[in-house]
Amino acid sequence: MKFPCNIGLAPLAGYTNLPFRKISYEHGACFAFTEMISARSVFESPSVVQKMLPAPDEPFTGVQIFGADLYWLKRAFKELEGKGAFLDLNAGCPVRKVIKKGMGGALLEDLRRFERVLKELREVVKGYLTVKTRLGWDKNDSVKICEIAMKAGVDAIFIHARTVRQGFSGKADWKALKEAAKVCEIPLFVSGDLFSPEDAKAALELSGADGVLLARGAIGNPWLLQQTKDYLEKGNYQIPTAQERIELMKRHLLDNTAFLGERKGVVEFRKLIAGYTKGLPNARTFRSEFMKVESLEDALRVIEKYQKLLETSNSQSG
């Protein structure tokens, strides 16, 4: 399996909906994932799942599915085949409520079970099948995990450089993938703690991986995708101005409300504004005001007020 390039947007529950993916593609992503979809929800909440699936004009978006029961997993993968560029098994989510039900990262607690799941999914999926996972349950089993994925016929593997038990504590150990990269004969992507183009380059060099998946670093900062591409190819990259950041934030908000509905689109956008305004003057005051609004009119008013404040500060400093 060949991916369009070596820089993708990772699946992020509660974030990577259609507006987020659309903006990410415009800013350098060459592939992306949906938010993770429960295997059972494909049949129990079809209207909800339908809204999560890729739009027909998305360049290369995979559908990520999670579950514990092979019966539901196989049904879901078969049902969703053709709904995206590829189908991906989530075998890495470290969230407690997911783990407790034997889903996500819990699949790595028993690698024989992990192997069985991949083999049986390969039997029902005719197209591209990938897996997003971690170094291991509580130790570095990445070589074994890659060998299992290859033997099962998986087309590509994405590995977050922490164990499941680590969650997001400590630091991602990119070097821990070095041996796995030597034996892996399918595309291997590294993720974890990639917050700058320099991080991405270091992760590739230390891990030996074929590509990177950008996740939390791209929240409210889609420029990171193109910056990473430019840095890897040319050794430099452009930094957006404050006004460019605010204008894109405004557009993202409008897209989000059009997609989710006004109130939900505004309220759910609250978690994105920290990324869009990181390091900007008076950002804390702006964020505090935005957290109180629920209508699009009020949200735009608060943004435009902040935008004018930034313009004034810039003209005075100039």
Exposure string (b/e) for 228-256, b if CB count within 10 Å is 16 or more? Answer: bbebbeeeebeebebeebbebbbebbbbb
Longest dimension (CA), the chain: 65
What lies within 8 Å, CB to CB, of 117 at 6+ separation is 70, 73, 89, 91, 107
Show Cβ contacts of residue 93 under 8 Å, excluding neighbours closer than 6 positions.
13, 36, 66, 99, 103, 104, 105
The answer to whether the Cα torsion of 158, 159, 165, 166 is positive or negative is: negative
| 264-267 CB contacts, 8 Å cutoff, 24+ apart | 265/296, 266/293, 266/294, 266/295, 266/296, 266/299, 267/294
Catalytic residue among 30, 93, 146, 184: 93
| Residue 126 exposure: Cα atoms within 13 Å on the Cβ side | 6
Which amino acid, residue 45? S
Note if 5 is an active site residue: no
Residues marked active site are found at 93
